[in-house]
């Protein structure tokens, strides 16, 4: 696809770009499969509980959205700015708990049709395509939409990957394609009351190519840290090391205590 990077594209330009991207690229992901999306699905589905409601922001043609809807009986909504993507998603995926909506998530005037506040909000390769100046507003919006124990799960190309692409494969870059250092993202999300609780750089086709990351609400983390984890007594003793075999314990004492401090 021709590189159509613009300095500050309007929402209409973004929409037109992704309408064209839908047939130029995304249908290929459906037909041939896509390892990046497969890894994202594995990551998202590992956190989805059977009744969780999910909002998939920038759902494209709904590949990950469909996979997530099969992990839960809760309602799943996919939203995308491209009418073409949403048209195709609606034609190709039909599940009773899944709905697709065409909307710009950055448009505060848009009311998303959510039955309940989502437990999980996913952005599969979307955050890097949001104008830098609007990322904090987006986090605030997602935080306001989500339930009390909201998890925002993101996948995005690492800054190393985008740097490589800008030098070696500039035509692969999309209309907006920002390098985002994790610290910057964490600061922006913090302004919406969200803390980064998970961050990994993972290989897809190349090393350190994508970041998988989770943000959770501060309030939910504060209440969780007060909740004592109850282990059975035997497991607690094991974890505290008191169940180590007496013979092993004696030989460790000889080596690590007596051997170092001398016999007392």
Task: Tell which positions 20-59 bind ligand SAM, by CB under 6 A.
Answer: 29, 37, 58-59
Q: Which is nearer to ligand SAM, 177 or 186 (CB)?
A: 177
* Candidate residues 53, 72, 82, 220; the one interacting with ligand SAM per rule CB under 6 A: 82
Strands 54-57 and 151-157 turn out to be unpaired
Interface with ligand SAM, residue 177, by CB under 6 A = no
Interface with ligand SAM, residue 126, by CB under 6 A = yes
Work out how close the CB of 255 gets to ligand SAM at its nearest, in angstroms, rounded to a whole number. 54
- Candidate ranges 43-51, 78-86, 188-196, 219-227; the one touching ligand SAM (CB under 6 A): 78-86
Phi-psi region at 208: left, alpha or beta (left = phi > 0; alpha = psi -120 to 50): left
Rounded CA gap, 225 and 213, in Å? 20
Work out how close the CB of 102 gets to ligand SAM at its nearest, in angstroms, rounded to a whole number. 9
At residue 89's C-alpha, the angle toward residues 28 and 45, to 5°, is: 85
What is the maximum span of the chain, computed from C-alpha positions, in angstroms?
80
Interface with ligand SAM, residue 69, by CB under 6 A = no
Interface with ligand SAM, residue 120, by CB under 6 A = no
Work out how close the CB of 243 gets to ligand SAM at its nearest, in angstroms, rounded to a whole number. 47
Look at the alpha carbons of 46, 134, 187, 168 in this order and tell me if their dihedral is positive or negative.
Answer: positive
Q: Which is nearer to ligand SAM, 200 or 236 (CB)?
A: 200
Work out how close the CB of 175 gets to ligand SAM at its nearest, in angstroms, rounded to a whole number. 9
Angle between helices 83-92 and 11-21 (to 10 degrees): 40
Work out how close the CB of 254 gets to ligand SAM at its nearest, in angstroms, rounded to a whole number. 58
Q: Which residues pair with 98 in a beta bridge?
A: 76
- Candidate ranges 74-82, 210-218, 232-240, 249-257; the one touching ligand SAM (CB under 6 A): 74-82
38-46 contacts: CB < 8 A, separation 24 or more?
39/155, 39/202, 39/204, 39/210, 39/212, 40/64, 40/124, 40/125, 40/155, 40/212, 41/67, 41/68, 43/153, 43/155, 43/212, 44/68, 44/120, 44/122, 44/124, 44/153, 45/71
Interface with ligand SAM, residue 78, by CB under 6 A = no
Work out how close the CB of 57 gets to ligand SAM at its nearest, in angstroms, rounded to a whole number. 6
* Site residues for ligand SAM per CB under 6 A: 14, 18, 29, 37, 58-60, 63-64, 79-82, 85, 104-106, 124-126, 129
């Amino acid at each position: 696809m021709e590189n159509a990077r613009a300095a500050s594209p309007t929402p209409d330009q973004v929409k037109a770009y992704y309408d064209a991207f839908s047939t130029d690229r995304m249908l290929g992901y459906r037909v041939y499969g896509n390892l990046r999306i497969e890894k994202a699905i594995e990551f998202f589905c590992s956190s989805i509980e059977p009744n969780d409601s999910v909002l998939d922001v920038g759902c494209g043609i709904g590949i990950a959205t469909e996979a997530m809807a099969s992990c839960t009986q809760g309602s799943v909504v996919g939203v995308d700015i491209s009418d073409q993507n949403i048209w195709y998603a609606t034609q190709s995926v039909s599940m009773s708990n899944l709905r697709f909506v065409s909307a710009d998530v950055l448009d505060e005037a848009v009311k998303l049709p959510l039955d309940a506040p989502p437990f999980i909000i996913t952005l599969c390769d979307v955050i890097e395509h949001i104008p830098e100046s609007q990322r904090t507003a987006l986090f605030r919006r997602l935080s306001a939409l989500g339930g009390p124990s909201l998890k925002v799960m993101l996948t995005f190309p690492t800054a190393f990957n985008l740097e490589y692409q800008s030098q070696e494969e500039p035509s692969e870059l999309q209309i907006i394609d920002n390098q985002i250092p994790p610290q910057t993202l964490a600061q922006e999300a913090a302004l919406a009351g969200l803390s980064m609780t998970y961050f990994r750089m993972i290989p897809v086709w190349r090393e350190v190519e994508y970041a998988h990351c989770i943000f959770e609400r501060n309030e939910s983390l504060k209440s969780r840290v007060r909740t004592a984890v109850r282990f059975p007594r035997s497991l607690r003793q094991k974890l505290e090391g008191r169940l180590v075999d007496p013979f092993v314990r004696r030989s460790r004492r000889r080596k690590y205590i007596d051997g170092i401090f001398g016999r007392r």
